Amino acid sequence: MQDALPAFVLSSEAPRTAMNDSPANQQPSTAAPGPSDEHLMLAFSQGSADAFSELFSRYKQPLFGFFRRRLTDPAQAEELTQETFLVLLRSASRYQPRALFRTYLYAVGFKILRAQRRKAIFRGTFFGAPRAGQDPVTHDSHDANLAIREALAKLESTEREILLLREFEQLSYSEIADLLRLPVNTVRSRLFRARMALRDILSCPAPKPAAETLSESEEHV
């Protein structure tokens, strides 16, 4: 990630680590639990730069993964990750702990993502669609990961979001309901449908390429 945030968030002398889109719960944590996210955000709203640095450390990877699973360009995912933290910086004085911090964070992320998608639609309408290119992540991914990404793309959009928020972002049913403005029971039922649909898609054998099918046909002539 580029050193674009304030110095107290990203020190130029600190070691850089590459971002990845692993689920948030896969990040190991052996240290004793520290202050809650909500406590840290309140402390930052009162002027504690160290509190924001800790929040950034906790959520920079999960938030990048949130965007990376929804965008094909990793550089764009990093850009939106930074933009989300900048929004937190600017709105800290207005923060009220009405919900869990991570719910608040992903709500900000969703707003930024929707704005980015509207810009992409506008550019595609007036300037033409961007030239298709190979996604560097999927190009180097294992076949299993690529199959899951392609299967997720086939799900209905809301059900895909519910599945991603539950399985990758590890949000509770009530948090997902708040984010997507759906009843909790609807979240439960649509999550079940998404899981079943994903299982069915992954269990179906992929169609063979046309060249391979033609070759098999010639063998039987």
pLDDT digits (tens), the chain, 221 positions = 444 454 544 443 333 344 555 555 444 444 556 899 999 999 999 989 999 999 999 999 999 999 999 988 999 999 999 999 999 999 988 888 888 899 999 999 999 999 988 887 756 555 555 544 444 444 444 456 677 778 888 999 999 999 999 998 889 999 999 999 999 999 999 999 999 998 888 887 655 555 555 555 555 55
Architecture of domain 1-128: Orthogonal Bundle (1.10)
Q: For residue 48, what pLDDT is reported?
A: 92
Q: For residue 189, what pLDDT is reported?
A: 96
Q: For residue 127, what pLDDT is reported?
A: 53
Which one, of 210, 159, 152, lies nearest residue 187 by Cα?
Answer: 159
Domain layout of the chain by residue ranges: 1-128, 138-206
Q: For residue 23, what pLDDT is reported?
A: 54
Overall fold of domain 138-206: Arc Repressor Mutant, subunit A (1.10.10)
Q: For residue 54, what pLDDT is reported?
A: 95
Sign, CA dihedral 30-36-39-41, equals: positive
Q: For residue 120, what pLDDT is reported?
A: 72
Q: For residue 32, what pLDDT is reported?
A: 56
